[in-house]
Structure 1
Amino acid sequence: MKKRIDLTGRQFGDLTVLGKAETKQKGRFWNVKCVCGNELVVKQSDLKNQVVTNCGHEETAVKEVKKAAPKKAKAPAKKTSKGTGHVGVSKVELKSGTRYKANISVDGKNKHLGTFDTLEEAVAARQEAEEQYRQ
C-alpha cells in the first residue's frame, strides 16, 4: 500500500497547506490558506502539479506580502526535444549507438521524418520539412 504524504505546512506558490480536508469527493484534498488570508480546499494533484498556486486574488493586493518573501523566478520552458536543443529532433539510445529521430506535426498529426546517424542530418531533415509544410 502506498504511503500517504503529509503536505501540512508546505508552501505551494501563495498557498500554505493547513491540513487534510474532509470531503465526499474522490481523491486527496487539503485545506490551504493564501497569503491574502483566504482559505480554500484544493485537490492534492492540483497543488503538486502547480495547477493552483493562489486563491485567485488580485495580484496588486498582495504585492506587499510578496516583497517580504521573494521567490526565485522560474526559467521559461524551452521548446526542445529530449535534450538535443532542436525542436522536433529527439535523441534515441540504442544498443548499436546513439541515433537522432526527426518529427514534425502537420494538421495535428505527427509525421516521422526519419532516424539519422548524426544530429546535423536530423536537424536538416526537420528544417527541410518545415519549409515544405509551411508553404
Structure 2
Amino acid sequence: MPKKIDLTGERFGKWTVLEDAGRAKNRHILWRCVCDCGNETVTEGAALRGGKTTGCGKGECSAHHDPTRKGAAHREWKGDAITYPTAHRRAESRYGKASGHVCVDCDAPADDWSLDQPYADDPRDGKGRPYSPDPSRYVARCRSCHRSWDNALTRSRQAVAAGLI
C-alpha cells in the first residue's frame, strides 16, 4: 500500500489540495482539490505530484487549454528550442502514429518515427542522437530498420571522427 504523504494545502499547477478523500479501488490515496477557477475534483496524489493533472481545463481555465492554439500560438511554444522526445511528438502530431504507416526501407509495418538524413549541425540529445524540430524530416521505420539505420549513422560518425572518411 502506498505510503501517505499529506498534501493538504499544497499547490500543483492550478490545483490546491483541500483534504484527504480516502482511497481508490487500487488503494491509491485520493485528494479533494479546488482549481483556481473554483471547480473541484478528486484525484490521486500520484497524478498531482507527477504533473499529470495541473488544472481542470474548464471555466476560466479553458483559455489555457484551447485546442485551436497550436504552433507559435500555443502558450508553451518553444520554437526550434525543443528536445529529442518533443521532436518525435511533433512528427506524430503531424503524421499520426508511426504504426499507421509502413517502413520506408522494407515496407513492413512501422514502429517509430526516425530522422531521415541527419545533418552535422542538427541538435543532439544526451546520448548523441540527432533530432530536428522540423517534422517533415522524419520517416516511418520498423524497429529493425530503425536500429540498422541508427547503427549505420553511428559507424559513419565514428569513421569521420577517426579520419577514415
TM-score of the pair, normalised by structure 1: 0.51
**Paired positions, count:** 97
Q: Which has the higher helix share?
A: 2
Percent pairwise identity: 26
Query: Are 1:121 and 2:157 an aligned pair?
Result: yes
Query: Are 1:78 and 2:79 an aligned pair?
Result: no
Asked whether the 8 Å contact 2:55–2:61 carries over to 1, the reply is no
Task: Provide the residue aligned with 2:69 in structure 1.
Answer: none
Q: Which has the higher strand share?
A: 1
Provide the alpha-carbon RMSD of the alignment. Answer: 3.9
TM-score of the pair, normalised by structure 2: 0.43
Asked whether the 8 Å contact 1:105–1:111 carries over to 2, the reply is no
Instruction: Specify the code of the residue in structure 2 equivalent to 1:41.
Output: V
Unaligned runs of 5+ in 1: 64-72, 89-103, 125-135
Task: Provide the residue aligned with 1:107 in structure 2.
Answer: 141
Distance in 2 between residues matched to 1:2 and 1:60, nearest whole Å: 31
Task: Provide the residue aligned with 1:16 in structure 2.
Answer: 16
Asked whether the 8 Å contact 1:36–1:62 carries over to 2, the reply is no
Distance in 1 between residues matched to 2:76 and 2:129, nearest whole Å: 19
Unaligned runs of 5+ in 2: 65-74, 85-123, 133-137, 161-165
Task: Provide the residue aligned with 2:40 in structure 1.
Answer: 39
Structure with more relative contact order (C-alpha pairs < 8 Å, separation 6 or more) = 2
